[in-house]
Structure 1
Amino acid sequence: MSGYRGTIVERSIEDIKKKIISNDAVVMTSQEICELVEKGEGITIRDVDVVTTATRAVMSGTYAVLSFPVESPFPFKRASKVFLNGITAHVGPCPNESLGMLDLVVFGTAHSHTIPGYGAGHLFREMAEKKSIDVAVTTEGNETFHTQVTLDGMPHAKLFATRHTFKNYAAFVNCSGKPVGTIFHATEFEPDMKTATFSGCGQINPLKNDPQLETIGIGTRMLMNGAQGFVIGEGTRSSPARPNLTGFADMHDMDPSLMGGFSTSAGPECIVSWAIPIPVVSQSVLDAIIVTDPDVPMPVMDVDRRVTIGSTSYADGWRGTDISVEFRPSSCIQCEECRAAECCPMDAIHYNNDRPVMNMRQCFNCGLCTTQCPGNVFRAELGSIRFEMEGRMHEVPIVLRQSDRKRALELEEKLKRMILDGSFVISQMVDTIRS
């Protein structure tokens, strides 16, 4: 890296796009930048043109908009109720009178009425896998029928975000004296601050790398679950301290391994992945990019009261820990009941001929299995949350992560390759999200 420390350099996104086209641009991942910073490298705006960022996490603020024809055994004017694999699909505002069409909205937090533990996140992944989906329709005339559809049979299928990619989410502990069921844990939270969970990819998160939204705005091109889409504004409950985004992408192009359902003690939730390129247009953008996990704040919240009780950093969750779970089936001691399999929020652990099998493509690397298995079949160092509360330091072991940094790192690498080979073109925002 150059040691240039002269006058502040600013350039436009169009200038950077020209460098990419002429194969002169330097594109790096946010992880690569942070590793150089930790080695003491002096990085300047002249050293890098684009930084790719990513996150993969449980993101409740998700919904799908679907429109497709259905095969009906009889003509019908309009549908009044629709279920997809038992999940309520809200019938849209378009009349579609006597056209045999369904316009639907499916909320990412919806649960199936027919399949236990199955939610919209599972449905969205199965759609992306091109699996056949059961469609149950009740018409305005109170007639009913069932049919099947695949994603290829849906001319319109878009996934939308209402509140995604928080710059820094939170760690959770239970300060009460009773167990608490919540979306922030796959099992009930133990009482008296015995365990902690957290969400957020820290230093590689898109909004950590552009917190002032200098390059991310309305119309910014990004990847959602591997499909090219666009940012369309700020998300609900967004604030300058904790910004988040809305956006959308076409489900037909999504990678099933980057999405899915995640079971919690309050029901199934939805997993979504984002990747956003950050053009290094100014020193202020670069200053945010070079911030590493120890300086990325992580609030600590009491999950029972939903109030902030302390603060730490993302170094607690990601520094000196294992981002993936090691699977050692030969260590299995044949427990009568496998707690790891029972508690896995991804249903990634099964048995074949009395031997454990782990679906690594399904695994979210949350780490919960490592805390449940007495035989150490599943191993990962998850770290601890360290924070001060009421003048006393606390250290609470992390037992579950609701973000998958391993695949987020893979996704920012993928985006880097796409920019360099020309299959992803960075875009100039249409308008800023906030003044």
Structure 2
Amino acid sequence: MSHEVTKTISEINDRIRSGKAVVVTAREMTDIVGRLGKVKAAREVDVVTTGTFSPMCSSGMLFNFGQEPPVMRASKVRLNNVQCHAGLAAVDAYLGCTETRRDDPLNKVYPGTFKYGGGHVIEDLLRGKAVRLWCESYVTDCYPRAALEKDVTLAGLKTAMLLNPRNCYQNYNVAVNLTSRIIYTYMGPLKPGAKNANFATAGALSPLFNDPYFRTIGLGTKIFLGGGTGYVLGAGTQHDPKPKRTERGIPLSAAGTLMVRGDLKGMNPRYVRGVSILGYGCSLAVGVGIPIPILNEDMAFFTGVSDADILMPVKDYGHDYPQGIPRVLGHVSYEELLSGRVKINGAETASVPLTSLSMSLEVAQKLKEWIEKGEFTLTEAQERIVSE
């Protein structure tokens, strides 16, 4: 494929280091491509920054809490009474953000509702708070300690890594409820008779709508993660490599996902927050921003995506979703969803976002500032993510 404009990541990095790179947010790029066209936009712009801030349930912390005499192999681990997975090594464990606290008092009043879970533990650590570590194990000759209980802080952990198996969905369902009773889901409470339509993603700001075929995002891509620096490890779990797409390459269903990691000790609690969802459980809201290098006019075209270009599938979480039925009731544009009212089955209903658009824009702007100051350069993907 030939292009009128061609750049390399190395050339763009040279421009970043010299302070000459032209960096714009994805929202700004939509206007630029609309005014100038993709070829002129590709000549003028070097990097487009994207951003999203939304509950991302497949997230968690991989940590090592260190040894002290006598040493132990922890087979059961809890942090602030939230269960961790300890089937790794002596003092390694993984805390999933949706794991809930044992005997959560809120659950006794509102079944299925938890005030505190793994995501809240992660946020507490980031805020400098001490959390209670509890460990138990069988005894061996090399690991004679049977139990350990103490307070730990983020600074005191040997290792603390945000390691998220599935973040940044490329598209996602608009959730409605066609039953006659209210239901409680990870998409929030859904009123009967499709009286509300809940949706997620940051629209034209969202990372994977700006590189729909993963031409620049892959293994080793450096990203904004939780207010610090992170990296893409590859496709996330449940990644759909070949969804049905529009002519712009926008998938018509939940499609691409990313597995990401970053050093929790370098993150900011403003962009990593524990979430409690009524009647469902806990999660973690994560800020993710990915820079898209404008290597040619194709990438300029992709980053010129608008909210009107993004069509999202409407699904019934009352009957269909719990039974694993993939029926799509129709599609609505992200632009329509942002208006606050959409038509579902011919009737108007309220649309409710789970993603914070203001925080998503803040992530994209913060990443833009880092790049303009020369504090953040781009990396070349070492392995492509299958997407076509």
Same fold (TM over 0.5): yes
**C-alpha distance in structure 2 between counterparts of 1:136 and 1:68, whole Å:** 11
**C-alpha distance in structure 2 between counterparts of 1:144 and 1:155, whole Å:** 19
Q: 1:146, CA displacement in angstroms?
A: 2.2
Q: Which moved more, 1:107-116 or 1:416-425?
A: 107-116
**C-alpha distance in structure 2 between counterparts of 1:386 and 1:37, whole Å:** 30
**C-alpha distance in structure 2 between counterparts of 1:189 and 1:407, whole Å:** 24
Which of 4, 13, 17 lines up with 1:8 in the alignment? Answer: 4
**C-alpha distance in structure 1 between counterparts of 2:148 and 2:103, whole Å:** 16
Match of 1:203?
A: 204
**C-alpha distance in structure 2 between counterparts of 1:213 and 1:395, whole Å:** 36
Q: Give the letter for the 1:428 counterpart.
A: E
Matches within 5 A, 1:187-266: 188-239=189-240, 240-241=242-243, 242-264=255-277, 265-266=279-280
Match of 2:301?
A: 287
Q: Give the letter for the 2:363 counterpart.
A: L
Q: Give the letter for the 1:193 counterpart.
A: A
Q: Which moved more, 1:400-409 or 1:205-214?
A: 400-409
Matches within 5 A, 1:125-140: 125-140=123-138
Q: 1:76, CA displacement in angstroms?
A: 5.0
Match of 1:401?
A: 353
**C-alpha distance in structure 1 between counterparts of 2:353 and 2:179, whole Å:** 21
The answer to whether structure 1 residue 424 and structure 2 residue 381 are counterparts is no
Which of 15, 21, 40 lines up with 1:19 in the alignment? Answer: 15
**C-alpha distance in structure 2 between counterparts of 1:289 and 1:47, whole Å:** 13
8 Å CA contact retained: 1:34, 1:292: yes
8 Å CA contact retained: 1:170, 1:200: no
| Structure-1-length-normalised TM-score | 0.77
Q: Which runs of 5+ in 1 are unaligned?
A: 1-5, 97-101, 321-382
Match of 2:79?
A: 84
Which of 170, 180, 185 lines up with 2:183 in the alignment? Answer: 180
Matches within 5 A, 1:278-427: 278-304=292-318, 305-306=320-321, 307=326, 308-318=328-338, 320=339, 383-387=340-344, 389=345, 393-398=346-351, 400-427=352-379
8 Å CA contact retained: 1:200, 1:403: yes
Deviations 1:9-53 (A, max 9, x none): 122111211222222221111111124456x45452102010000
8 Å CA contact retained: 1:85, 1:114: no
8 Å CA contact retained: 1:68, 1:103: yes
Matches within 5 A, 1:55-70: 55-69=52-66
**C-alpha distance in structure 2 between counterparts of 1:22 and 1:75, whole Å:** 54
Match of 1:343?
A: none
Q: Which has the higher contact order (CA 8 A, sep 6+)?
A: 2
Q: Give the letter for the 2:347 counterpart.
A: H
Q: Which runs of 5+ in 2 are unaligned?
A: 106-114, 140-144, 244-254
Which of 139, 143, 154 lines up with 2:157 in the alignment? Answer: 154
Deviations 1:318-342 (A, max 9, x none): 3x5xxxxxxxxxxxxxxxxxxxxxx
Q: Secondary structure at the match of 1:152?
A: coil
Q: Which moved more, 1:260-269 or 1:120-129?
A: 260-269
Identity of paired residues, percent? 30
**C-alpha distance in structure 2 between counterparts of 1:20 and 1:427, whole Å:** 12
Q: Secondary structure at the match of 1:273?
A: strand
Deviations 1:235-273 (A, max 9, x none): 111123321111100000111011112222211112111
**C-alpha distance in structure 1 between counterparts of 2:168 and 2:133, whole Å:** 31
**C-alpha distance in structure 1 between counterparts of 2:192 and 2:260, whole Å:** 37
8 Å CA contact retained: 1:110, 1:120: yes
Q: 1:78, CA displacement in angstroms?
A: 2.1
Cα RMSD of the aligned pairs, angstroms, is 2.0
Match of 1:327?
A: none
Q: Give the letter for the 1:131 counterpart.
A: K
**C-alpha distance in structure 1 between counterparts of 2:300 and 2:329, whole Å:** 31
Deviations 1:133-179 (A, max 9, x none): 11112231595442100000012110112111112212111011222
8 Å CA contact retained: 1:316, 1:386: no
